[in-house]
Amino acid sequence: MDNLLAAISVVLTHYSSSFTDTLISVKAVILMVVFMEDTHAWMENLEDERVIRLVEEENKRFREFIGELSDELFPEVWEYYSMPALYGAKLTDKGTIAMYKERERQLIRWLGGEVIVDSTALEEELNDEVLLQGFTADEKGRFLAYSFSIGGADEGITRIVDLKTGRLVDEMKPSVWNVTFLGDGYYFSRFYRHGETPDGVKAPAVRLFWKDGSGERMVFGEGLGSGYFISLRKSTDGKTAMVTVTFGWNRAEIYVGPIEEPGMWKKAYSAEVPAEPIDVIDGKLYVLTREGKGLGKVITVEDGEVTEIIPEGEFPLEWAIIVDGKILTGRLVHASHRLEVYSLDGEKLDEVTFDLPGSVYPLDTDGKRALLRYESFTVPYRLYGFDGKLNLIEGQEVEGDFRVEEDFAVSKDGTRVHYFLVKGTRDEKKAWVFGYGGFNISLTPRFFPQAIPFIKRGGTFAMANLRGGSEYGEEWHRAGMRENKGNVFDDFIAVLGKLKAEGYRVAAWGRSNGGLLVSATLVQRPDVMDAALIGYPVIDMMRFHKLYIGSVWIPEYGNPDDPEDREFLLKYSPYHNVKKQKYPPTLIYTGLHDDRVHPAHALKFFARMKEVSKDVYLRVETKSGHMGASPETRARELTDLVAFVVKMLWL
């Protein structure tokens, strides 16, 4: 196969440029034929007896390989994993409702008071593992909407309850999101994974609905195809609907209008870059847009006229809300947040930094006050209130002597790539490096409970800020998507290579799109890592759009059915680039209930890798979806990861 591809390339170089387009098409067709036969395609059927047998055999093989080390480490990982963590909070007239993880359960409760939803009670009711996915409530504190799934699947159940009586008002299967209460009814978004929408568009697609005592009806999204997403928010005064339609992670349209009258929602702003509404104040729509250099700026739109309020700065403006007549923003400076406060006409009033590099995001605002969540490598969470000044409400922190360092590596094309290093009291030159690099998602400091036992043993936990994310704005994102995806792998190679040059033994780790990152780096440059951990990954770049909801990722990755896109996808597709060479010990892990990234990506790559390497292992969680499962199931999985890293780097 390698010889055939080389021959094609040689032939192309010997023809004149006038034939280039034709020859590229010929090459694409030949490549399509070469890779049309997939000897592991049967693994896409998770009910195939061979798949079930493979999972059982390989889970047993991995358990035998990891031995008792995982059981020895579990109490340590559980100690940190079971620390209380806050996932969300909502302001209401009757108090604040918050969602937590506490040891073996997840809770939705009144802040400092009564429990409303307990995952353990749901598990008793359903006789299965339950993962709470999220919640919201109406401003008056009358109704609560919450979603949960079985085994961590994306598809789940949404329930609406009366907070005064506890009565179940409604239940929707599969789960919906964007529930927005209005009087005795509510809007919600439904993501069609199967079948077609009411207007006849085949899944995957999103539509917005209104539901009340008379039933439900579709109110927005007619004609939108795959790759489009819809989100709805109310202005803080409750009068205006702000609807955002995005295509992938690349462009946006914002519609506004009276919240009660969907027929009057009109397009107010559109951009070929990400953009999101902030609020509507005195008839002006405030928008955070990535137009320009992609670093983020705040504008107002009124009667079609656009006015710049906060211009682009040196570093990205990642989010903005309006509180007490001021614009509160989160600016990302080398992948950690600082707060900046502006007047409504853009005058900078204040700046707030934190004791540790961290992530800070708004959880809710009612226009007069806001709730913010802070997190760092040794801080599971802090909940702050803001009403003109910042005040700490509650939080959790790991005790011990830790330090967070920052450094840069130089990528293949000269780009400087930032990364964090988290260390304890000693450095035994063992590095566990996490990366992602995609979908406009920034990797900012967060709490990894399984990293604490690793660090206490003298390890260094690292997190790399690669192109494809939003750490340095939209240009940084676009430099790592579609035909530029190779930059992401080069960036990761630069970070891993620098650590190797400094004498570290290195374990590379990525999950989901990060699994693509690590697997692509593994087949290209296995020499820059001593171990690889590939979780819930996207790996077969010729088939990702055919499996589950993969077609919605086409705007980010490209379209395998387009000959030009297919060519650059094949160039790096990990599944199609496995070859005979020396690979470091590799752990590929997934969950059978993952209905976002099909487990076949992991299974098929494992099969290919096992043909050329004896040091590849497969771990399949039978009770886990893409976002995990119950606390203990998730903690067991994380413990296996740290056990693998410890065994590979120390033993």
- 275-320 pLDDT, tens digit per residue, is 999 999 999 999 999 999 999 999 999 999 999 999 999 999 999 9
- 469-517 pLDDT, tens digit per residue, is 999 999 999 999 999 999 999 999 999 999 999 999 999 999 999 999 9
pLDDT band at 427 (very low <50, low <70, confident <90, very high): very high
pLDDT of the residue at 23 = 46
Separation CA 629–CA 250 (nearest Å): 31
Helix (H, G, I), strand (E, B) or coil at 318: strand
In the chain, the percentage of residues whose pLDDT exceeds 90 is 79
The 3-state DSSP composition of the chain as helix, strand, coil percent (nearest 5) reads 25, 40, 35
pLDDT band at 193 (very low <50, low <70, confident <90, very high): confident
Written as six digits, the tokens of 434 are: 């996490």
Q: Picking from 128-142, 537-551, 623-637, which range would have the lowest pLDDT averaged per residue?
A: 623-637
Separation CA 203–CA 402 (nearest Å): 48
Helix (H, G, I), strand (E, B) or coil at 636: helix
- What pTM does this model have? 0.89
Q: Are residues 118 and 648 in contact, defined by beta-carbon separation less than 8 angstroms?
A: no
DSSP for residue 574: G
Q: How big is the CA angle at 311 (ends 308 and 314), to the nearest 5 degrees?
A: 165
DSSP for residue 625: B
Written as six digits, the tokens of 148 are: 């949960």
- 132-181 pLDDT, tens digit per residue, is 999 999 999 999 999 998 866 667 899 999 999 999 999 999 889 899 99
Helix (H, G, I), strand (E, B) or coil at 500: helix
Written as six digits, the tokens of 143 are: 């109704």
Q: Which amino acid is at 275?
A: A
**HSE value, Cβ hemisphere, 13 Å, CA-based, for 181:** 19
Q: Are residues 202 and 196 in contact, defined by beta-carbon separation less than 8 angstroms?
A: yes
Phi, psi of 474 (to 5 degrees): -70, -35
pLDDT of the residue at 43 = 80
Nearest to 436 by CA among 450, 417, 453, 454: 417
